[in-house]
Amino acid sequence: MNIIRKILTSRSASDGNFFLAIEEVLGFKPKKKKYYKKAFTHRSMNKRDSQGNAINFERLEFVGDAMLGAVISVHLFREVPSGDEGYLTKMRSKIVSREHLNELGRDLRLIRFVRTKIPKENFGENIHGNLFEALIGAIYLDRGYDYCERFIYDRVIDPYVDIERLEGKVISYKSLLIEWCQKEKKSFNYLVYEDTGNDELKHFAVKLFINEKVVAKARATSKKKAEEKASKRAFFALQRKIVKK
């Protein structure tokens, strides 16, 4: 009985510390605490509810992504009355880019709350943004739209969203480069191949050809990252031609 009491006491103290820390992040007191526990449960824990459904943050991520997009869309609609659908869509993409979401999750140190059987140092960068989206999903299901909107304004819009600065921010160098090549009627090709070398993780190398000439090379842990890195190098090499004054 003493052992059981110690275990229960330990869990209670742990939960108490967790929710105190979460309350500091949120700026308000959570009501339905189960959503916040789920928001920081990694699939490696293999947890399931009484119906056999998986308990982890992935479904909350889906909800959070939708809520973040909705709040940002309404904000842009109000702030930029002259912006057409294409402009608003592009601006929203810049605000909710994976890079920016990862930055938000890192700033709040959300990874400290994760329950996982995988060493945290083995997670990729996207874990930060995934947790941020899951947290927003938990807020919506716990307290509704108004609290969700207030959190997004406090943590995303007010400190980070500067319309003029975002207008000049490139979210995809590959898209920018392809658009320029098509406009200028230049041929382009990304030649991607595996390049493991001595690295523990598999790497991919890419050569970017424009008009059948290699203009940039790069390597990364995925084809997509390698192409984007090569595109960025090509952009800065050709910047005077691409960005005409």
Which position among 61, 65, 149, 228 bears the catalytic label? 65
CA dihedral sign, ordered 67, 69, 70, 72? positive
State the burial class of residue 147 (Cβ atoms within 10 Å of its Cβ: 0-12, 13-18, 19+). Answer: middle
Nearest C-alpha neighbor of 117 from the set 52, 49, 42:
42
| 65 flagged as catalytic | yes
Q: With contact defined as beta carbons under 8 Å apart, do 184 and 211 qualify?
A: no
Rounded to the nearest 10°, the torsion over CA 23, 26, 32, 35 is -110
| 146 flagged as catalytic | no
Q: What does the alpha-carbon distance between residue 164 and residue 90 come to, in Å, rounded to a whole number?
A: 13
How many other CB atoms sit within 10 Å of the CB of residue 95? 22
Q: How far apart are the first and last CA of the chain?
A: 78
Rounded to the nearest 10°, the torsion over CA 100, 104, 106, 112 is -140
Which position among 24, 58, 84, 133 bears the catalytic label? 133
Q: Could you give the angle at which helices 145-152 and 58-79 cross, rounded to 10 degrees?
A: 70
Query: For 18, left (φ over 0), alpha (ψ -120 to 50), or beta?
Result: alpha
Residues with catalytic annotation? 65, 133
